[in-house]
Amino acid sequence: MKLEHLIKQAKTSVTCWSDCDHALTEVNEAYGAPFEAARDKLNSSLLLAEQNGIEIDQLQGSDSPFRFPDLGAMVVVRISKLPTPNNKIETIDLRIERLERELKLAKNERKRLLEQLKIKGHEFVTQKITTAFKHITK
């Protein structure tokens, strides 16, 4: 495969990405931002209503008053509840913290070993190649 072919593929990819990025930005400004604001307001109102004694469970399921057949859509209400403080949960949280520290140490050890191998001149094989895109000034 020639470099010119890769450059052509890269240009096609970045052109498509740029067009998509601009379109998504326009869509987000026109529809996404108002939608997110409306959803945040509904979520806050639902939490406040639940705190004031309204049974939020009645807003779930197929009989939900949040079904709008005329719009062909409905609001799906998901309720997440946390248990009250419990010693078993605290114990597991401490265990998770310890394991996360151990994982971080293992990752650092791996990184250190990889750096040592580079210094000693070992060959590395390509595992995978990923791409990302970003805007640059013209």
Tens of pLDDT along 81-126?
A: 877 778 888 899 999 999 999 999 999 999 998 888 877 777 777 8
The pLDDT, as a whole number, for residue 62 is 84
Query: Is the model more confident about 45 or about 133?
Result: 45
105, 106, 112, 116: CA torsion to nearest 10: 150
Q: Tell me, what's the pLDDT at 20?
A: 96
**Do 83 and 89 contact (CB within 8 A), yes or no?**
yes
* pLDDT score recorded for residue 41: 96
Using only the alpha carbons of the chain, give its radius of gyration.
26
Whether residue 40 has pLDDT greater than 90: yes
What pLDDT is recorded for position 31?
A: 94
Give the pTM.
Answer: 0.56
Can you give the residue ranges of every domain in the chain? 3-120
Cβ contact 13:131 at 8 Å: yes
Choose between 3 and 86: higher pLDDT. Answer: 3
